Chains A and B, each alone.
Chain A
Amino acid sequence: MTAPTRAWSSPADFPSSPLVLNSVTKRFGGLVAVDEVSVAIEPGKIIGLIGPNGAGKTTIFSVVSGKCAPTRGRVTALGHDITGWPPHAICRLGLCVTHQIVRPFTDLSVLENVMVGAAFGGGARVTGHDARGEAFAVLEFAGLAARADQPASALTLAQRKRLEIARALATKPSVLLLDEVLAGLTPSEVVQAVALVREICARGITILMIEHVMHAVMNLSHRVLVLNYGRLIADGTPAEVTGDREVIAAYLGAGTEETSHD
């Protein structure tokens, strides 16, 4: 594992990258939500995407997952230019996103929720596969097997977040985009969720995660991207970005000189 020591990465730096953003810009009317972001993600790593509220993190996820097309720029994933692809095609290619506000299929059981991912995601290309069996295996991995037959509406928030991840995992992604899966969890639940994210990474799945729980994201990430006003302002190891003057200014306001980090 070689953490990138340079402060900036261009798409050319990782030719085998499973996800490359090339000058991606997304405007909503006069608002530039994402501004000329170019970045390449290394395979098999956990990459944190942080930034103040409104920095454009979730918009980047929306562009990458196909929910909205970029105003300018290209997105390349797993060897395909996926710019403008519909979300279901991107999911089947092997890139799955979870939602910041969990969106379980409330009328379906926990198992059936995960079966949707298993039956329609990337794994579905294998003919004659057993969506139910696969879904159950994923539930066991995510620690929800005991809840398999309950309606999804009966789950706690922490469990719903797990379900959101389990459902995405069932699509057999190569790249998993996690949008604030730790938000709203109690400290002990955060510890469990962090362990789950590590296990997912250990399976060889590349993870790009938006997170506000700093100690967790700094702990987990091999590399951290910092976004502010739609622009990528820092890119490096957790230690590098926490010491970055522009990052400190973005979070705490310009002019703050004395801030301690450990």
Chain B
Amino acid sequence: MTSARTSRGALGAPALGVALAFVPLAAPHNVTLLNLGFFTFLYVAQGLAWNILGGFAGYVSFGYAAFFGLGAYTTALLWLHGWTPVLTFPLAGLCAAVFSLIVGVPTLRLVGPYFSIATIGVGEAMRILMLNIGITGGASGLNLPTTVPSKTWFYLAALVMAAVAYAIATWVRGSRFGLGLAALRMDPDAAETLGVRTALFKNVAHVISAFLVGVCGGLFATYFQYLHPDTVFSFTESISLVLIALIGGLGTIWGPILGAAVFYAVQDYLQTSYPNFHLMVYGVLLIVILLFEPRGLAGLAARIAGRRRAPAPAADSPATIASKPAGNTP
């Protein structure tokens, strides 16, 4: 929660980010590598964004595809009207943010599993709606202009998105706002009686994360050049973000970063040779993680680092997810 405690680990990620920014210089024509980077960073950004509500505030949403899809379609439609895609990104985020407020105000009153179930409903309703209205091209999809920037540009743009999401998540976590989110996650009533405006805080967290995911959707639309409601509004897209945060470590900064890297690497590697096999891998990974290390890969890394550094790793109870920075991880 303090600058002193976060600063130690805060150096690792920016250094990693800067290093990754030089990859296109070293391998400017390695399209496979640049694509891998683009999608991984896009998932890192979304995982970090999802985690602001799902991890910090404890509201596990299964409906983030709605924000991703809205962002994608906002960019796509404005692009078809002659806008430069980059200029549409803020609007893509804004559109998702406004929608998150509309669904968040009523659904964030629900607790725990009830909220999660409601978000499934919202996500699926948006997908069905988008399949059936004309403006999105409906079930036949939407073809977008083919004049797009280079792969290097996309790689760097996604990296910037990930960096922005990282910066925002890190700030939230160390701030008074983050302390309020942690408090309301553990006991909303107690937080409220101590002066935390829980309803406002939950919605602000929701809006911030939806905005980021909306921008990611816009970037995705620009990259993919073809949109279909079943792609961007898919339940799989929603589940992906939950999986990334859970595999990596709920409520940590490094969790979504590690989670996204593993998630996309597994998918990318397995999907070509063994379609759908990656889903089984995720399932097994999820069970193993929930059973043996509920703090995910970030927790596992912290445990290994702790064992190496000090002989008594017991001090790191699973309880300190929120308060301990992920800074101990390499």
Interface residues of A, Cβ cutoff 8 Å to B: 65, 67, 86-88, 91-92, 96-97, 99, 103-109, 112, 115-117, 119-122, 124, 131-132, 151, 153-154, 167-168, 170-171
Interface residues of B, Cβ cutoff 8 Å to A: 1-2, 176, 179-180, 182-183, 186-187, 189-198, 317, 319-323
A99 to B, closest residue via Cβ: B190
Chain A residues, Cβ within 8 Å of B189 = 67, 87, 103
Chain B residues, Cβ within 8 Å of A119 = 176, 179-180
Q: Which listed residue (A104, A108, A120) contacts B196, Cβ 8 A?
A: A120
User: What's the Cα separation between A153 and B190 when bound, in Å?
Assistant: 15
Q: Which listed residue (B1, B195, B320, B323) contacts A124, Cβ 8 A?
A: B195
Chain B residues, Cβ within 8 Å of A92 = 195
Q: Are A97 and B193 in contact (CB under 8 A)?
A: yes
CB distance from B183 to the nearest CB of A (A): 5
Q: Are B2 and A88 in contact (CB under 8 A)?
A: no
Q: Are A107 and B321 in contact (CB under 8 A)?
A: yes
Q: How many A-B residue pairs have CB under 8 A?
A: 94
Q: Known contacts A88-B195, A112-B323, A116-B191; is A107 also within 8 Å of B176 by CB?
A: no
CB distance from B250 to the nearest CB of A (A): 11
A111 to B, closest residue via Cβ: B1
CB distance from A244 to the nearest CB of B (A): 33
Q: Which listed residue (B182, B186, B195, B322) contacts A171, Cβ 8 A?
A: B195
Interface centre among A106, A120, A167, A170 (most CB of B within 10 A): A120
Q: Which listed residue (B1, B180, B187, B321) contacts A120, Cβ 8 A?
A: B180
CB distance from A170 to the nearest CB of B (A): 8
Chain A residues, Cβ within 8 Å of B197 = 86, 88, 120
Q: Known contacts A107-B182, A131-B176; is A151 also within 8 Å of B194 by CB?
A: no
Closest 6 CB pairs of A and B: A120-B195, A91-B195, A103-B190, A121-B195, A105-B186, A87-B192
Q: Known contacts A116-B179, A119-B176, A119-B180; is A107 also within 8 Å of B194 by CB?
A: no
User: What's the Cα separation between A18 and B196 when bound, in Å?
Assistant: 22
CB distance from B186 to the nearest CB of A (A): 4
Q: Are B176 and A153 in contact (CB under 8 A)?
A: no
User: What's the Cα separation between A168 and B192 when bound, in Å?
Assistant: 12
B183 to A, closest residue via Cβ: A116
Q: Are A96 and B193 in contact (CB under 8 A)?
A: yes
CB distance from B320 to the nearest CB of A (A): 6
User: What's the Cα separation between A122 and B196 when bound, in Å?
Assistant: 11
User: What's the Cα separation between A88 and B191 when bound, in Å?
Assistant: 8
A109 to B, closest residue via Cβ: B323
Q: Are B195 and A108 in contact (CB under 8 A)?
A: no
Q: Which listed residue (B194, B319, B320) contacts A116, Cβ 8 A?
A: B194
A102 to B, closest residue via Cβ: B190
CB distance from B256 to the nearest CB of A (A): 18
> 11 A-B residue contacts at CB 8 Å?
A65-B193, A88-B194, A91-B195, A97-B193, A99-B190, A108-B186, A112-B323, A116-B183, A120-B194, A167-B194, A170-B194
CB distance from A174 to the nearest CB of B (A): 14
Chain A residues, Cβ within 8 Å of B179 = 112, 115-116, 119
User: What's the Cα separation between A154 and B314 when bound, in Å?
Assistant: 13
Q: Are B180 and A91 in contact (CB under 8 A)?
A: no
Chain A residues, Cβ within 8 Å of B198 = 88
User: What's the Cα separation between A65 and B182 when bound, in Å?
Assistant: 22
A93 to B, closest residue via Cβ: B195
User: What's the Cα separation between A168 and B195 when bound, in Å?
Assistant: 10
Chain B residues, Cβ within 8 Å of A88 = 192-198
CB distance from B238 to the nearest CB of A (A): 26
Q: Which listed residue (B176, B182, B196, B317) contacts A151, Cβ 8 A?
A: B317
CB distance from B174 to the nearest CB of A (A): 12
Chain B residues, Cβ within 8 Å of A65 = 193
Chain B residues, Cβ within 8 Å of A154 = 317
Given contacts A86-B197, A104-B190, A151-B320, 14 further A-B contacts (CB under 8 A): A65-B193, A67-B189, A88-B198, A97-B193, A105-B187, A105-B191, A107-B322, A109-B323, A116-B179, A119-B176, A119-B180, A153-B319, A170-B194, A171-B194
User: What's the Cα separation between A65 and B186 when bound, in Å?
Assistant: 20
User: What's the Cα separation between A107 and B323 when bound, in Å?
Assistant: 7
Q: Known contacts A119-B176, A153-B319; is A108 also within 8 Å of B194 by CB?
A: no
Interface centre among A88, A92, A103, A131 (most CB of B within 10 A): A88
User: What's the Cα separation between A86 and B188 when bound, in Å?
Assistant: 13
Q: Are B1 and A115 in contact (CB under 8 A)?
A: yes
User: What's the Cα separation between A28 and B191 when bound, in Å?
Assistant: 25
User: What's the Cα separation between A104 and B187 when bound, in Å?
Assistant: 8
Chain B residues, Cβ within 8 Å of A97 = 193
Chain B residues, Cβ within 8 Å of A104 = 190
Chain B residues, Cβ within 8 Å of A99 = 190, 193
Q: Are B187 and A103 in contact (CB under 8 A)?
A: yes
Q: Known contacts A86-B192, A91-B195, A107-B323; is A116 also within 8 Å of B317 by CB?
A: no
CB distance from A14 to the nearest CB of B (A): 25
Chain A residues, Cβ within 8 Å of B187 = 103, 105
Interface centre among B189, B196, B320 (most CB of A within 10 A): B196
Q: Which listed residue (B190, B192, B317) contacts A105, Cβ 8 A?
A: B190
Q: Are A106 and B193 in contact (CB under 8 A)?
A: no
User: What's the Cα separation between A116 and B201 when bound, in Å?
Assistant: 14
Q: Are B186 and A107 in contact (CB under 8 A)?
A: yes
Q: Known contacts A115-B179, A116-B179, A120-B180; is A107 also within 8 Å of B319 by CB?
A: yes
